[in-house]
Amino acid sequence: DIQMTQSPTSLSASVGDRVTITCRASQSISSYLNWYQQKPGKAPKFLIYAASSLQSGVPSRFSGSGSGTDFTLTISSLQPEDFATYYCQQSYSAPWTFGQGTKVEIK
């Protein structure tokens, strides 16, 4: 199985801050990397596919980059509704695996 490791596990930030979350794969996954946002008590929401393509309706302050084994999710200007846990997921090969999550908290 491909292991996905996110860092940091959690971070504290203020509204308006630029936030970057890193996801590393245990082997090269090309650009087959998706990102999700999950708020407490809710299902994950699909944000980004193919490492850098925004799902329809996702605000442009979200962006993704990377290929191979190293990927980043960036929120350019953190908004109150962005406080949540973010997960990466590789779609290179089954079993599809997720990172352990990064919790973005209010400073």
Partner 1 sequence: QLQLQESGPGLVKPAETLSLTCTVSGGSISTSSYYWGWIRQPPGKGLEWIGSIYYSGSTYYNPSLKSRVTISVDTSENQFSLKLTSVTAADTAVYYCARLGYMTTAKYYFDSWGQGTLVTVSS
Q: Are 51 and 90 in contact (CB under 8 A)?
A: no
Q: Does 71 bind partner 1 (CB under 8 A)?
A: no
User: For residues 101 and 99, what is the distance between their CA atoms, to the nearest angstrom?
Assistant: 5
Candidate list 14, 43, 80, 107; residue touching partner 1; CB under 8 A: 43
Query: Is there binding between residue 66 and partner 1 (CB under 8 A)?
Result: no
Q: In angstroms, what is the C-alpha Rg of the chain?
A: 13
- Asked if 62 interacts with partner 1 (CB under 8 A), we say no
Largest CA distance in the chain: 37
Residue 81's contacts (CB-CB under 8 Å, 6 or more residues apart) are: none
Among positions 17, 65, 68, 101, the unique one binding partner 1 when judged by CB under 8 A: 101
Residue numbers at the binding site for partner 1 (CB under 8 A): 1, 31-32, 34, 36, 42-46, 49-50, 53, 55, 87, 89, 91-92, 94-101
